[in-house]
Amino acid sequence: MPNRSGIMRKFIVGNWKMNGTSSDLSEIEAIATMSANYKTSVDSALCLPATLIDRATSLLPAFTLGGQDCHMQVSGAHTGCVSAAMLADAGATLTLVGHSERRAGQNESDADIRGKAAAAHVAGLKVIICVGETLEERDAGKALDIVLDQVQKSVPDNAASDWLSIAYEPVWAIGTGRIPEDSDVAEMHGAIREQLVARFGIDGESMSILYGGSMNGDNAAMLMAIPNVDGGLIGGASLTAAKFEPILAAAAKSA
């Protein structure tokens, strides 16, 4: 997201997925303490399991913590679901929506994700909408069409750079150790940027577009040097301060 002088700061977000119990609060604290060393040039956050958000925010009120999903309704008969208002009440200030593991595992549609993003915004949360193609879609030459369609249909019409970011995550790169060619990342992020600017005007220039999928300390500098890569959404390498720090260091250097 832009700072006051309009320069894009890198935005590095860890996604703990379904990992973490109270015994991991000390590691979350270590990550927060380490991240503070980079705060002059890098915005960082952790998206935690909903069960940990309240305790983590009590322990670390200055660190940005988020959820990994929310329901589109404020309350009601939705057993097992968590609303955006509940995340905010627990202390979260942002949430992911539309992660591919939910699109596939929970059959979430673009319309669902748009509704969740809108609900999160109403609850006062910043939102990261995840998009990405499968390997079959890339091999069929459909990656750009698929991802741009997801962005078009998932992003609400009132989106603005002060609350909305996109995370491009090729499904086949998540947790596999594989990453796309630089040129493919540049092409996709450039195309997403063009679409955001066409739809939202100059504000589309300031919406952060994160890359996700096997980002780690070895490849982060290279990935963040690619035009329109404004940061990262990191899974496995966000689980410890030791693995997360080199990514923040790379982001700080590229800022």
Ligand X SMILES: O=C[C@H](O)COP(=O)(O)O
Residue 4: CB minimum distance to ligand X, A: 29
Would you tell me how many other CB atoms lie within 10 Å of the CB of residue 255?
16
Nearest CA to 119 out of 90, 158, 177 is that of: 158
CA distances, 8 to each of 47, 185, 227, 240 (Å): 21, 18, 12, 26
Q: Is 15 annotated as a binding residue?
A: yes
Q: Which is nearer to ligand X, 48 or 85 (CB)?
A: 48
Question: Quick check: is 101 catalytic?
Answer: no
> How far apart (Å, rounded) are the C-alpha atoms in residues 71 and 111?
12
Q: Which is nearer to ligand X, 156 or 170 (CB)?
A: 170
Determine, following the binding rule CB under 6 A, whether residue 98 of this chain makes contact with ligand X.
no
Interacting residue with ligand X among 10, 56, 235, 245 (CB under 6 A):
235
Q: Which is nearer to ligand X, 214 or 254 (CB)?
A: 214
**Ramachandran region, residue 2 (left: φ > 0; alpha: ψ -120 to 50; beta: rest):** beta
Q: Determine the distance from the C-alpha atom of residue 136 to the mean position of all C-alpha atoms in its chain, rounded to a whole number.
A: 23
Strand partners of residue 212:
233
Q: Which residues contact 5 (CB under 8 A, 6 or more apart)?
A: none
CB 115 within 8 A of CB 72: yes
Question: Quick check: is 169 catalytic?
Answer: yes
# chain residues binding ligand X, by CB under 6 A = 14
Determine, following the binding rule CB under 6 A, whether residue 234 of this chain makes contact with ligand X.
yes
Interacting residue with ligand X among 20, 115, 156, 236 (CB under 6 A):
236
Interacting residue with ligand X among 233, 248, 250, 252 (CB under 6 A):
233
Residues 38-97 that bind ligand X (CB under 6 A): none
> How far apart (Å, rounded) are the C-alpha atoms in residues 206 and 69?
23
Determine, following the binding rule CB under 6 A, whether residue 115 of this chain makes contact with ligand X.
no
Interacting residue with ligand X among 122, 175, 182, 225 (CB under 6 A):
175
Determine, following the binding rule CB under 6 A, whether residue 15 of this chain makes contact with ligand X.
yes
Stretch that binds ligand X, among 109-117, 121-129, 150-158, 208-216 (CB under 6 A): 208-216
Tokens of 217: 């300390």
- Counting Cα atoms < 13 Å in the Cβ hemisphere of 156 gives 22
Interacting residue with ligand X among 215, 226, 229, 251 (CB under 6 A):
215
Positions annotated as catalytic residues are 99, 169
Contact positions toward ligand X, by CB under 6 A? 15, 99, 169, 174-175, 212-215, 233-237
